[in-house]
């Protein structure tokens, strides 16, 4: 219950932001895995845009649409090879009006 409430709140927050989504070109991908590592699992809480979620098989999935390109998931999971992290193409992604 609390999770559902929190989630809708993050979506409300992201709704304020301006994005230019690059369809079909996700800039972050999660490598297929059986069981997520502690860091990968932590992303389901730590990502400020709640892009990471557990699927019903207990694996971590990403939907990077609301991503604010903060780089937190990269810091936690790029060196281990669990995710691949790039910037969106020039001009795409989040566009802060105030920053």
The contact set with ligand SF4 (CB under 6 A) reads 28, 47-49, 51, 64, 67-73
Say whether residue 90 binds another protein (CB under 8 A): yes
**Site size with another protein, rule: CB under 8 A:** 41
Cβ contacts of 70-79, under 8 Å, gap ≥ 24: 72/43, 72/46, 72/47, 72/48, 73/28, 73/43, 73/46, 73/47, 76/39, 76/40, 76/42, 76/43, 76/46, 77/37, 77/39, 77/40, 77/43
Among residues 21, 53, 78, 84, which is the contact residue for another protein, using CB under 8 A?
A: 78
| Residue 21 C-beta: closest distance to ligand SF4, Å | 13
């Amino acid at each position: 219950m609390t999770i559902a409430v929190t989630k809708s709140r993050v979506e409300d927050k992201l709704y304020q932001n301006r994005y230019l989504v690059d369809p079909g070109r996700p800039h972050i991908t999660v490598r297929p895995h059986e069981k997520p590592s502690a860091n990968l699992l932590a992303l389901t809480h730590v990502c400020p845009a709640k892009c990471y979620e557990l699927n019903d098989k207990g694996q971590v999935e990403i939907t990077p649409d609301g991503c604010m390109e903060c780089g937190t998931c990269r810091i936690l999971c790029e060196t281990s090879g669990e995710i691949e992290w790039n910037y969106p193409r020039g001009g795409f992604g989040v566009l802060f009006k105030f920053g």
